[in-house]
Amino acid sequence: MEIFKIAFRNTSRQARRTGLLAGAIAFGTMIIILLGGFTSGLTENVKENTAQSMAGHIYITASEVTSGGLEVARVTDDSVIIDAIDDSGIEYISVSHRTNFTGSISLGSRKTDQEIAGIKVDEEQLLLDSLVIQSGSLEAFVNDKHGIILSEQVAHKIRAAAGDGILIRLTTQTGQNNLGEFTIAAILPDEGAFGSARAYTHLEYTNELVNMPPDASETINITLTDMDDTATASAMLIAEIEKTVEIMDSAEQVEALMNDDGATGAMIDAMSESVGIDTEETETNTRMMPGMSGGGIGGMFGGSIVRSELPPGTVTLRLNTIDDYTGSISQLVSTLNYISYGVFAILLLITMVGITNTYRMMMLERIKEIGTMRALGVHKNQIRNIFLYEAGITAFTGAAAGLVTSAVIMLITGLIPFESTGNMTMLLRSGHIGYTVNPVTVFSLFIVVVLFSMIAASNPAGKAAKIAPAQALRTTN
């Protein structure tokens, strides 16, 4: 303890040098914390905003073979899935049903194509609460079965306003053309490139238009209590569903599509026992699951009709998660993290060189002091530890200063409001920059900074410990 007190006193005596070293360490620490917090926050913001738009973190889709031999994407009997969700033990906020379709929206002679999500209002309170209404009202949408919510971009293309009636032309699941009449209940503000998919109608009317049973849906979406549990929860859910039927997760889907046997050869005939089909005796042929060629969930109506050679009533299940739709953002974040680590490594290397040179000079300046301490009975190891403790104290002080500085910067920049329009919308958290700092990362950063600083000082500290007392006392500065 006395050795530590001496080291602490020495850092105070060399305030200028200590301040310069601590400042360099603080700058490097600040950079890594700010970049890490920003990129982690960016990932979470995009995932949460995407989850709100897509109504969940886990998405289960079923494909059924109709009596006419067509393969259509819909969940008619969701009892197996709902029971599995409840029995799996996953913690979730809500379960919602959706049917997506792509239609041609027209008002007079003006028209534009748009992907639209049919939703159950009583299941989508989280979505409705998150919507920022530019004109119209949510109440008008909730109370009107034919109501529709559009983005500003789409409304501008057809020069429509809240309250206007529009027509949507679409193709049913079985290939017939159909026409729906809607009233624009609300218009959402511009969200740039991310806003093109934000259009909502009522599920019951959507099912009617695409020729689906009223109580069916294209997907069942699960919103978890904690988004970080997505991977674990999806694994638990798959394990529970497979107690009754079999299901394929996204990784297996990709592998299946690359196999020579084709998608159907690897896809699972789920719930087949309930309709008396022996899947082992069923001949399978190459095909693709509906929706997988259309860019993910939804957007499959109005495209080519898929004819299956599987027996009518065959149902296949697949599962996707939010991570499958935000992979590009995760890759970008990983790249930014690597860059920040590289910058930090360079700064740390420069700082270590500075620490080594500084403590070499300090050793030469304090030779007589070292000799006196050695003459008074201080051991070599204690002399070395004094220098190492000084380096550790300086490093810890610098890292703490960097942490505090980064926290202040994050607090100030996090209070700056941004307009809820444009391409930045999906990157923001309630209109503000969101940072996410991992305590484990910060703790590890402190250990690395202190450890490497002490390593940098170890060579001068070792030389100081080897100085003979008599020789040190004869030395003149």
Residue 466: both structure tokens together: 């080897």
Residue 166: both structure tokens together: 């529009």
Find, among 391, 372, 308, the residue nearest to 22 by Cα: 391
CA distance 278 to 286: 19
Residue 454: both structure tokens together: 């002490």
Residue 406: both structure tokens together: 């980064």
Q: Is the dihedral of CA 189, 191, 192, 196 positive or negative?
A: negative
96: part of which helix (H) or strand (E)?
Answer: strand 92-107
Rg (CA), the chain: 32
> Helix or strand or coil: residue 167?
strand
In this prediction, residue 288 carries a pLDDT of: 29
| Number of other residues whose CB lies within 10 A of the CB of residue 365 | 11
Backbone φ and ψ of 102, nearest 5°: -110, 125
Residue-wise pLDDT for 391-450, tens only, equals: 999 999 999 999 999 999 999 988 888 765 555 666 777 677 888 888 998 999 999 999
Residue 462: both structure tokens together: 């070792």
Backbone φ and ψ of 73, nearest 5°: -90, 105
Backbone φ and ψ of 156, nearest 5°: -70, -35
CA distance 462 to 384: 6
CA distance 67 to 63: 13
User: Could you state, in order of their start, the residue ranges of all structural domains in the chain?
Assistant: 2-49+328-474, 53-250+289-322
In this prediction, residue 303 carries a pLDDT of: 44
Could you tell me how far CA 438 lies from the centroid of its own chain?
14
List of E strands, 308-432: 315-321
Residue 222: both structure tokens together: 């699960």
In this prediction, residue 166 carries a pLDDT of: 96
Residues of the chain with pLDDT under 70: 1, 191-197, 246-305, 327-330, 419-426, 430, 470-477
Single-letter residue type at 371: G
Contact status, residue 105 vs residue 113, Cβ threshold 8 Å: yes
Contact status, residue 28 vs residue 444, Cβ threshold 8 Å: no
Residue 396: both structure tokens together: 């810890």
In this prediction, residue 287 carries a pLDDT of: 28
- pTM for the whole thing? 0.66
In this prediction, residue 354 carries a pLDDT of: 87
